[in-house]
């Protein structure tokens, strides 16, 4: 993100610059309830169908849903579903937002390593996302069969995830419960939290969703851009 897009231009620290906010109204968000928008600015690292319960972090490097999301109640929903890996580069806008209207009643924190999540590391370190510190956030909505889950993954220099609806910062110093109860409600586009540097968010959706036109590996996307659609005429 260019600094010209930031709400303010003067920062007291490098960390404040990394977690800068956008100017109000800069990213229009569609109100179509069938469209899932991108939660963040990112490069699409990988995307496609979940092959049964197998997901690919990079070509030739698969992992099992249960290894990334240990909760069986959540991970079974994405069997043969779709996924997209969103890589936030250090120069990008670091905050992430709700991709749909939703409620969140729990965040599951999984402590782990802080491997770099750049493309080179993803091709060399097997099941890297399953080894790194991460959180699992199921987004509750009004659709009985549609389900979306976000998995923010921490990385080197970024072992910290801050959620606006939790008092605690989730990092390697955190010593609280792994399952953190909460009661948060979001409209599509509302800010959910931020990383303190670049990192990754993996979004999972049920099999009734399809990728919107132009969403493919290597594509640069913006927060609020249409990502998935439940429309039958999606491309």
Strand partners, 152: 201
Catalytic residue among 38, 108, 147, 199: 199
Question: How far apart (Å, rounded) are the C-alpha atoms in residues 71 and 216?
Answer: 28
By the 10 Å C-beta count (0-12 exposed, 13-18 middle, 19+ buried), 10 is classed as: exposed
Q: Minimal CA–CA distance to 117: which of 160, 85, 77, 69?
A: 85
Q: Minimal CA–CA distance to 214: which of 36, 44, 83, 87?
A: 44
Told to judge if 73 belongs to the known catalytic residues of this protein, a careful annotator would answer no
Catalytic residue among 41, 108, 160, 197: 41
Say if residues 29 and 50 touch (Cβ distance below 8 Å). Answer: no
Told to judge if 34 belongs to the known catalytic residues of this protein, a careful annotator would answer no
Helices and strands: H and E segment counts in the chain: 5, 17
Catalytic residue among 38, 94, 97, 229: 97
Say if residues 96 and 201 touch (Cβ distance below 8 Å). Answer: yes
Say if residues 113 and 46 touch (Cβ distance below 8 Å). Answer: no
Active site residues: 41, 97, 199
């Amino acid at each position: 993100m260019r600094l010209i897009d930031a709400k303010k231009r003067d920062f007291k620290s490098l960390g404040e610059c990394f977690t800068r906010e956008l100017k109000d109204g800069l990213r229009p968000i569609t109100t179509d309830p069938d469209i899932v928008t991108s939660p963040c600015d990112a490069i699409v690292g990988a995307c496609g169908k979940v092959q049964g319960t197998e997901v690919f972090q990079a070509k030739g490097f698969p992992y099992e849903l249960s290894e990334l999301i240990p909760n069986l109640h959540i991970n079974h929903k994405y069997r043969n579903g779709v996924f997209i890996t969103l890589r936030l580069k250090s120069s990008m806008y670091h905050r992430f937002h709700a991709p749909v209207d939703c409620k969140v009643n729990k965040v599951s924190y999984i402590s782990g390593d802080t491997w770099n999540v750049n493309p080179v590391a993803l091709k060399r370190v097997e099941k890297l996302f399953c080894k790194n510190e991460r959180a699992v956030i199921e987004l509750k909505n009004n659709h009985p069969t549609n389900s979306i889950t976000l998995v923010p993954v921490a990385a080197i220099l970024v072992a910290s995830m801050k959620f606006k609806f939790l008092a605690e910062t989730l990092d390697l110093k955190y010593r609280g419960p792994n399952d953190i109860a909460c009661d948060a409600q979001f409209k599509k586009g509302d800010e959910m939290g931020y990383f303190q540097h670049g990192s990754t968010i993996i979004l999972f959706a049920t099999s009734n969703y399809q990728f919107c036109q132009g969403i493919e590996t290597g594509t640069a996307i913006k927060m609020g851009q249409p990502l998935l659609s439940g429309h039958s005429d999606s491309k």
